[in-house]
Amino acid sequence: MEWITQRTARRIAVPISVDSLQVSQSLSPRPSASSIDIRMDTGTVQRKEAVRAEPASEKMKRKQVILISLVCLLGSVGILVLVVLYLKSTVEMVYLTSQIQEQTEWRTKVMHAVYSLIEERGLTALLIVSKRQHGDQDIGLVLSRVLEAFEVTDTDITEISGWPDKTIEHSPPSSAFHSRENFLRQLNLHRTKIETGGTCDEMMTFYTQAISRLILWVEKSVRSEDRNNVWQILMAYVDLLVAADHADRVRIWGSQYYSQGGLPDTLFMLMSHSDYHSNEFLASSQRFSQGTGMLCSEEFGLGLELLRGAGTSQWWEALGQNRIIPPSFNQSLTWYENITEFVQDLHKCQIYLSDFTTAEVSHQMSHLHRTLALQISLSAVVVLCFFSVVSLVHKMIVWVKNFAAMLEQRTEELRKEKKLTDRLLHEMLPPMIADQLKKRQPVEAESYDQVTVFFSDIVGFTNIAASCTPMQVVEILNSLYVCFDIRIQLYDVYKVETIGDGYMVASGVPERNGDRHAEQIAIMALDLLVAIDEVTIPHSPDKRLRLRIGIHTGPAVAAVVGVKMPRYCLFGDTVNTASRMESSSLPQKIQVSHETYTALRKKDCFIMQPRGEVDIKGKGKMKTYWLVGHKNHREMDVETSLVCSHQRSTRFLAKEHSFDKQRHSVPNLHEHFEPLFYTDNEPLSSPEMPTSRGNTLRAPYNGFIPRNGKVWPS
């Protein structure tokens, strides 16, 4: 700009302006905010918007911490409960398997007792029939085998670890089976009847009841268990016992047939019935367990209708028809031995099944013990992890609290930084323009039809600066511009820039104010012209500063110029003309152009005097005027100045300016402070008016404060 070039050539170049000095002093601890890139990216804007969110309350923080703790602890507790449930299930399986193992051992002992009773029943019946038919001859061998069977039976019954309940469902009650002692007593009693003439039917009845009772015990124990992987083998085990019982009955009645030469029809029917049931239960055992069928057929050659198989087929020709034959003890004994071999094969098969079941249960028990040990170890690890999680959650809570406190502190710092940045941005640019840039909205150059531009400088500033040190120059300018900056906030004007002692102000930009722009600049110029008398030179108190002011009204273009240090600038002939009005003015005078004069005449409240035609550089002859004062104030002096109506010093004004900024930095703080202006020791009530910088000051609206305290509208 030409005006700037002239001022730079005529004045001593001051390296720092008052505004930049104030900003530098306020921002020196924070170099990051000293240079602001107006082209903020979206992420920066979003981060600054996020900073606006208020931090969570303490109650909300506690809730969040408790929620995080509960989530972690519930997960750990859930895993712990799951492991405990698996452990409980495994312990129950171990207990059940141990019960199965005990029951398997018990059933094996009962099985041996059953076969011992079957053998004893068969030998006893053979002995009774042979003794009745043939006397005491040829029975010595049978008798010795009977006595041996007695001893084996007593031993097997004694080895049964637990005697079942006194009564069993579906079994006839009998006191003989209430205990092991009663049973052995009844057994010995029936044994003595062999010598006293007991019949074969009596012996069969007693032994059959005893064998049936023991088999019922075994079946009851098998059915009471859960259906595990050995349940089918156990059912085959029971069926083999029943098959052996019926095979022994066939053996007894067949021996009786050959010993007597025939059987009564009743006994023959019973024998046929037992023969049928023996084969059926054997087949049932093979159906329950495929391994049982393979074992019976491959190891022992047992199959369906085994009693009629090889070795006994020729005996069934007569026995199957119950034909009358000559009695023969030898044939009876041979028949007995043949069927005994079959019963013994069944016994061996059952022993094999019992051993297989025991091995299978033992294998399951070993597997369960390993599983139990693994689960106990896992439970211990989970418990340790649980306490570790509790400890880690506690540490995490402490860390979260510390982090939240640090985050809140950083948020507060960012908020202050943003506030400082916004304040700096609003000092550099008009608030409306700054808000547009912050929102990333394009700021285009704007043309204004009518604006009023104000220029001023200090008369003889070059000589004053030459006689001062640089710091004294800065102090003088700072005192001057603090005074000016305070005063212009009372008017609808915008300070465009300051260079050295030059001061440029405009009205009507960036916000249009109709036809009030000339009036606002005129009142401000009158105010500043008088206020300059209160600004002293610190090192020369007896000297006074004098202003030279020029005003012009016309069209202009406003735009934001620059990227590194963007500024809101005015362009156009109006700016140059206003600068020429100032440079051709006189000390303590306000020279206005004809256009400004015309605008002020419309208000009919200003006193102006024609100066005449003045030769303006670059413009030629121009008719200008002196702005003398306001019609409500015939003479402009210190006492009628808005600034100096209460004889306030510049130092006090600077303090008031700082106080005013603090007042507006806190919402509603102005309610606690008294008004800034007084007349006749009484506060003056006046409306709040917005200024070009977005602040509000309690000041008279477009007028001065006369001595009578009345507010005169302009």
pLDDT in tens, 267-289: 889 888 888 888 888 888 878 77
Domain shared by 255 and 122, yes or no: yes
Query: CATH no. for residue 592?
Result: 3.30.70.1230
Per-residue confidence (pLDDT) for residue 226, from 0 to 100: 62
DSSP state of 564: S
* pLDDT tens digits along 630-679: 887 544 444 444 444 333 444 444 444 444 444 444 344 333 333 333 33
What confidence category does residue 600 fall into, taking pLDDT thresholds of 50, 70 and 90? very high
Give 423-451 as a DSSP string.
HHHHHHS-HHHHHHHHTT-----EEEEEE
Number of domains in the chain: 2
Whether the pLDDT of residue 197 is over 80: the answer is: no
Dmax (CA) for the chain in angstroms is 180
Residue 576 has pLDDT above 90, yes or no: yes
CA trace torsion 18, 22, 28, 30 (10° rounding) = -120
- Residue corresponding to tokens 């000559």: 326
Give the pLDDT of residue 295. Answer: 60
pLDDT of residue 581: 92
- On whether both 122 and 241 belong to a single domain, the answer is yes
Q: Which of 17-31, 35-49, 326-340, 431-445 has the lowest mean pLDDT?
A: 17-31
3 part of a folded domain? no
| Token pair of 166 as six digits | 């006194």
The whole-angstrom separation of Cα 335 and Cα 141 is: 16
Residue ranges making up the domain that contains 594? 442-658
Q: Does 447 lie in the same domain as 367?
A: no
Whether the Cβ atoms of residue 446 and residue 62 lie closer than 8 Å to each other: no
Counting Cα atoms < 13 Å in the Cβ hemisphere of 79 gives: 16
Most confident of 293-302, 557-566, 626-635: 557-566
User: Is 71 among the domain residues?
Assistant: no
Residues 467, 560, single domain; the answer is: yes
High-pLDDT (> 90) share of the chain, %: 15
The answer to whether the bond into 31 is cis (omega within 30° of 0) is no
β-pair type (567-571, 606-616): unpaired
Is 262 inside a domain boundary? yes
| Reported confidence tier of residue 229, pLDDT bands at 50, 70, 90 | low
- Are 237 and 354 contacting, i.e. CB atoms less than 8 angstroms apart? yes
Report pLDDT digits (tens) over 432-471: 777 877 777 777 788 999 999 999 999 988 888 888 888 9
pTM summary value: 0.47
Q: Is the pLDDT of residue 700 over 60?
A: no
User: Residue 708: pLDDT above 80?
Assistant: no
| pLDDT at 685 (0 to 100) | 35
Which of the pair, 655 or 226, is modelled with greater confidence?
226
Residue 268 falls within a domain, yes or no? yes
Report the distance separating Cα 538 and Cα 548, nearest Å. 21
Lowest mean pLDDT among 25-34, 46-55, 73-82: 25-34
Residues 261 and 158 in one domain: yes
Q: What is the pLDDT of residue 672?
A: 35
Give a yes or no: residue 53 inside a domain: no
Q: Using the 8-state DSSP alphabet, how is residue 262 labeled? A: S
Query: Quick one: 253 and 153 in the same domain?
Result: yes
* C-alpha neighbours within 13 Å on the C-beta side of residue 50: 10
Joined together, the tokens standing for residue 352 give 């094999």
CA 370 to chain centroid, in Å, comes to 37
Name the band, by pLDDT with cuts 50, 70 and 90, for residue 292.
Answer: low
For residue 244, tell me if it sits in a domain: yes
DSSP 567-612: EEEEESHHHHHHHHHHHT--TTEEEEEHHHHHHHHTTT-EEEEEEE
Nearest CA to 619 out of 571, 579, 570, 569 is that of: 579
pLDDT at 400 over 60: yes
Q: Let me know if residue 220 belongs to a domain.
A: yes
The residue out of 636, 658, 680 marking a domain boundary is 658
Mean pLDDT of all residues in the chain?
Answer: 74
Q: Are 327 and 446 members of one domain? A: no
> Does one domain contain both 125 and 222?
yes
pLDDT band at 13 (very low <50, low <70, confident <90, very high): very low
Lowest mean pLDDT among 220-224, 287-291, 342-346, 646-650: 646-650
Tell me, yes or no, whether 626 lies in a domain. Answer: yes
Residues 166 and 307 in one domain: yes
Does position 624 have pLDDT exceeding 80, yes or no?
A: yes
Q: Are residues 367 and 235 in the same domain?
A: yes
* Rama region for 500: left / alpha / beta (φ>0; ψ in -120 to 50; rest): left
Q: What is the mean pLDDT of residues 100-121?
A: 86
Instruction: Spell out the SS3 assignment of 57-77.
Output: CHHHHHHHHHHHHHHHHHHHH
Q: What is the mean pLDDT of residues 63-81?
A: 78
Mean pLDDT of the 310-326 span: 70
**Predicted local confidence at residue 45, as pLDDT:** 40
**The last residue of a domain, from among 323, 350, 376:** 376
Q: Of 658, 675, 691, which residue is a domain's last?
A: 658
Structure-model confidence comparison of residues 72 and 588, the more confident one: 588
Contact partners, residue 348, CB within 8 Å, separation at least 6: 299, 300
**pLDDT one-digit tens code per residue, 505-542:** 999 988 899 999 999 999 999 999 888 888 888 777 78
Looking at the structure, tell me whether residues 212 and 307 fall in a common domain.
Answer: yes
**DSSP assignment string, 312-366:** THHHHHHHTTT------HHHHHHHHHHHHHHHHHHHHHHHHHHHHHHHHHHHHHH
Using DSSP's 3-state secondary structure scheme, residue 477 falls into: helix
- Within this chain, do residues 654 and 541 fall inside the same structural domain, yes or no? yes
The beta strand positions in 459-546, using DSSP E, are 494-499, 502-507, 536-537, 540-544
